[in-house]
Structure 1
Amino acid sequence: ESAMTTGGPGMVQALLAARDAAAPNDDHLRHTLLIALRNRLAAAEDVIPNESVNTNRNVLVAAYLGVAGPKAASFLSAELDKAAPALRPDMVRHVARHGDDASFKALVASLGRDGLSPVERGQLLVEMEKGATQAGRKPPESIQKLAESQAALLMEQPATRLVGIELAGAYRSKANNLAAFVADPTNSESLRLAALRALGADAAKAWTGVLAKVLADSAAPVALRQECGVGLVRSDKPVVRKVAGDAITALPSGLQDALAREMAARSDSGTELLELVSKGKVSARVLRDRVVSTRIDALKNPAIAKRVTDLTAGIPLADAAIEKRIAAVRAAAVGKSGDIKHGKELFAKHCAACHQVAGMGARVGPQLDGVALRGVERLAEDVLDPSRNVDQAFRTTVISLKNGRIVSGLLLREEGKTITLADVMGKDVVVLAEDIEDRSLSPLSPMPAGMGDRVSPTDLVDLFGYLAAPGG
């Protein structure tokens, strides 16, 4: 801590030397010295000799990435072309967010220079847009045009198509190409999902027919159908939401539940959901869903609340159905350890977007190493009724926007003028702070509650078997 303000102008060099002398496998000491270096750079105005920069460039970059403000951004902008390629995306995002006009202008020039591969340029342009959004600044027209041309180039080749899709989404370009990727059933699920997400919040309004066709396609991947349906019911246009309402009757219960949960987040679509229930197009059971009922309560609309009470009179609580499913898993597990290979496939398909085990998957939700020690019954409860036992750190953040929409998910980070949540699919949802009317913490888990609709009790036994032996 004393390194922040004491030790004179040679302290930076001393910290660099100490870190260089630390044993390569002493991660704790090396990290501690990096933190001390970061604190020193943030608190002091030391002039770092060029020789020290040249021999310790990547360490200094890593330290400056943790320092907010134009001073750090100026250093990172100057070193961008010389730093390790793995550090450049974070450097670009930092400069775009924290840099002054001079640093930002230098960044623009750097991204247009020769020597960058199309993929690297595309990735760096995406990071620039992220940082600029966090700072509330807009990339110049030259960058917009560069991004559009690079996106078109990258989307031409299958090997670089995903990068091109992400770039097109970041700069809201090439919508025709993106919609075509979503609609084409010969494309992979991951590519179609990426293209749908790249179309952004206006996808349902501009491409209603494409989303409706995918939603109704029973052969399309469930995750893709769900995102198309959610996009439709989130629309501010009643005519767009009606398209989803017309399709919902023919959807399997898991998809019906997912759309009902989204419709319950707003008064207008919530009222439309109740109308569908009253006409028998959707089972009244969806109104007993814990997520649906919690969101309807959050609307604080007495008329909607009364209608829910009337429509659910005599309908058994959803918890009874959950208990039956838990009992079925318990019965399926008797005398069986599960098919580990199949369990690994199930984890990759249903869990890895948010959870990690044995280094596989994303660390959005709780890490699952050792979770199998809880036993089959508790694991079944956690999967089939995720809101039954929710750690405080993983509760749902509920944000009411000024346009009437409710956004919810696991809070990932607050950066500059944006707040990022992870939704039930593990996808980032970025909200501008200025658009928020109210924010609260819900007792519900962000984990989707419909797992029992997508996998059988035997599947869950296989999944739990993999969690018990993740290296299997």
Structure 2
Amino acid sequence: WWRLALARRSGRALTPVNGYEFDRGAQALQITDEDFIEVLQQFIEFGPTTSLGGEGVRAGLLEGHSRVKLAAALAMRAHPDRAYMEPLLRTLENCDAHDETLRHALKLAVREHCRDGELFKLAADSGPRSLIVEVATALPTSEAAEFLLHDLESDRSSGEATRLHHIARYGRPETITQLVAIASERAPEDVQVLAAIYGGLQESGVVYPKELLAWATQAAEGLLGLEVANRHQWTFLGDGENPFCLQERKCADGKSVSVISSLNHDLKGPEKLTGILRSAAFSAPERLSFWLCGHQGFPNEPANEKNFVRLVDQKGALLQKALPPRDDVCQRIEWDLSAIQGKQVRMEIVDGDDGRSYAWLGVTRIEPAVVDVATFDSDATRQKNLRTLAGILQYTAPATLRERLAAYLPPRPAPPPLPVSAEQRQQLDALIQARAKAFASANPDTQMGKVLFTNNCAICHQIGGAGGLIGPQLDGIKNRGVDRLCEDILDPNRNVDAHFHLHVIKMKDGNAAAGFLRGEYGQVVELVDTAGQSHRVSKGDIVEEQITPMSVMPPTFGQTLDEKNFVDLVGWLMTQ
């Protein structure tokens, strides 16, 4: 070290540090932090030396200032050594909680050391539990899975989904058997716990344990039994995905309450989803009031009256009807039912608008409480759990149970799109030219264009950090120019980046699917189909895969966006 210090003082270039001895008297030579950091950086590049690999790097971590500690942590991460584990754990335990950069570097160094099974056991024996749990969930090793299982055994909880998934993916067969036994005993009715374990096993590609399938079967039969027993719950009627959920909204009197809403932001394109939510039968009171919010199409267009709340008798005959106020804030509605008081009736919340925006409604504060908004939540959770179990058991459940679960199976990936014919190509060329010409003489409403982007494009595309990343992010899109934008929106298959080419897969059951390959997780691929829905497909179920230079983006915006809306959208994009 003193030789390095003298080399620095004399202006000579530092050479690789092989052979230099560490001397604690070096501080007397006033080696600066910059000297120390440069030597550590050389250590990262050239590897351990006889002395620096031990004492020098350890001294930098234990005795240096924050910047030196950071360089030492990076050096230890680059060249793991058993001698570094104890000082890494000690430094991390005493590290300033506000020094996030150093803490992160130390955690990465510990993780890198723990890839060695013996070093992981050393850390598990001497390190703080919370840290080792965090490190273990990032280690793709059977030792990490075994540690997490023992931790699960000791804390008596059902376990976080991330940890359960990790144990299932990387655990040895005996570890997985123990995991299923513990989880099914502690949380026999928690379908999300079961799903986390199933997801990990799916990614590992192993055969699903019979104990797990038996647990799933029992859970499904129990939930289906509740479907029959709890006739008083709300019932969803529709062919597609249930859009209804509970969410907080404000009422005109200032109260903020839970609302049954058809605008479920957890779903893809929620406003396009439709269906009916029907209550159980009840005796009509003399008067019935409730609070209603929602829309009937774009505010600047006539009300389409596709969304409404209605009261029907047992035969379905219409008795009362209320339209949403075209407002996000709930307004009070009151019906005079004196003429039918005591008659058996049902309330139905109807979302019949499949538009891309301003196409939802919500209901709350039903008085008297002939039906309860709060009961919807348990019913929605039950149906969500049945959809999960239907996916797990679709090939293994007994035939009678498979039939009962068929209604809850998730939709299959969308089929591959048909190639564009020569005639369709001519039509697209003409449409692109017409829309570009219309834009040249128009005065676009950029505010409406932003709304259109949010409702039509933001599911897949991101601008300014807002939106999805299924497709390319679009910051600076105005640089493409109007003509290219018209092409990209109306004919997305014309210019497709290779990263976003369509993957077409054929599966063992004879079905075909197509989509953008978002990622691979062990023995599972995640496919985003042409409808924007994400699907996890086991590699073992795929018999053929092809890549074609087509886009996941549907070539339908020429039909779904009229000329004015298209101009508004392009107008806003040209400001980005």
Aligned position for 1:326: 432
User: In structure 2, how many angstroms separate the alpha carbons of the residues matched to 1:117 and 1:357?
Assistant: 44
Change (3 A) 1:357 1:153: farther
Secondary structure of 1:446's counterpart equals coil
Write the deviation string for residues 104-137 of structure 1: whole angstroms up to 9, x where unpaired: 24433554566x898xx44333322222222333
Does residue 390 (structure 1) correspond to residue 496 (structure 2)? The answer is yes
- Whether contact under 8 Å (2:243, 2:264) holds in the other structure is no
Instruction: Normalising by structure 2, report the TM-score.
Output: 0.49
SS at match of 2:115: helix
1:293 to 396, 402, 419: 419
User: In the alignment, is residue 125 of structure 1 matched against residue 194 of structure 2?
Assistant: yes
CA distance 1:147–1:361, change in 2 (3 Å)? farther
Check conservation: 2:117, 2:143, Cα contact below 8 A: no
| Correspondence 1:31-430 to 2 at 5 A | 33-46=106-119, 47-49=122-124, 52-54=127-129, 57=130, 59-79=131-151, 88-109=160-181, 111-112=183-184, 121-135=190-204, 136-138=206-208, 139-146=212-219, 149=222, 182=240, 188=262, 219=352, 221=354, 262=415, 291-293=417-419, 317-334=423-440, 338-430=444-536
Q: State the aligned residue count.
A: 339
Give, in angstroms, the shift of residue 454 of structure 1.
Answer: 0.9
1:170-202 deviation per Cα after TM superposition (whole angstroms, max 9, x unaligned): xxxxxxx787674989883759989x9xxxxxx
Q: Given that residues 15 and 36 in structure 1 are in contact (C-alpha distance below 8 angstroms), is that contact kept between their aligned partners in structure 2?
A: no
TM-score, normalising length from structure 1? 0.58
- What is the Cα deviation at residue 410 of structure 1? 0.8
Distance 1:141 1:367, change over 3 A: same
Q: Does 1:8 pair with 2:82?
A: yes
More strand by share: 2
CA distance in 1, matches of 2:450, 2:229: 33
Please give the alpha-carbon distance, in whole angstroms, between the structure 1 residues aligned to 2:477 and 2:563: 18
In the alignment, the residues of structure 2 paired with residue 14 and residue 155 of structure 1 have an alpha-carbon distance, to the nearest angstrom, of: 58
Structure 1 unaligned residues grouped into runs of 5+:
162-176, 197-217, 224-260, 266-290, 295-311
Q: Secondary structure at the match of 1:375?
A: helix
Taking only the aligned residue pairs, the percentage that are identical comes to 27
**3-state SS in 2 of match to 1:66:** coil
Question: Is the CA contact 1:398–1:440 (under 8 Å) kept in the aligned structure 2?
Answer: yes
Structure-2 change in CA distance of 1:326 and 1:415 (3 Å): same
Question: Aligned partners of 1:9, 1:458: CA distance in 2, in Å?
Answer: 69
Q: Quick one: distance in 1 between partners of 2:436 and 2:570? A: 11
Q: Which structure is larger by alpha-carbon Rg, 1 or 2? A: 2
Query: Within the alignment, does 1:453 sit opposite 2:528 as a pair?
Result: no
Are the equivalent residues in 2 in contact too, given 1:4–1:44 (CA < 8 A)?
Answer: no
Deviations 1:423-446 (A, max 9, x none): 012212333323333222211112
1:290-326 Cα distance to aligned partner (Å, 9 max, x none):
x4138xxxxxxxxxxxxxxxxx8xxx53222222322
Contact 1:12 1:37 in 2 (8 A): no
Pairwise CA RMSD of aligned residues?
4.5
Q: Give deviations 1:374-432, integer Å, cap 9, x for gaps.
A: 22222222111112111111111122334443322111222233222110122123333
The whole-number CA distance in structure 2 between the counterparts of 1:319 and 1:366 is 24
| Paired residues of 2:503 and 2:516 also in contact (CA < 8 A) | yes
- Separation in 1 of the partners of 2:554 and 2:161? 32
Answer yes or no: is 1:17 the counterpart of 2:91: yes
Q: Partners of 2:228 and 2:434 in 1: how far apart?
A: 46
CA drift of 1:97 comes to 1.9
Equivalent residue, structure 2, for 1:277: none
| Separation (CA, whole Å) in 2 of partners of 1:402 and 1:420 | 17
In 2 relative to 1, CA 340–72 (structure 1 residues): closer, same or farther, beyond 3 Å?
farther
Secondary structure of 2:543's match? Answer: strand
Residue deviations 1:195-251 (CA, integer Å, cap 9, x gap) = x9xxxxxxxxxxxxxxxxxxxxx956379xxxxxxxxxxxxxxxxxxxxxxxxxxxx
Equivalent residue, structure 2, for 1:204 = none
Q: How has the CA–CA distance of structure 1 residues 133 and 343 changed in structure 2, closer, same or farther, with 3 Å as cutoff?
A: same
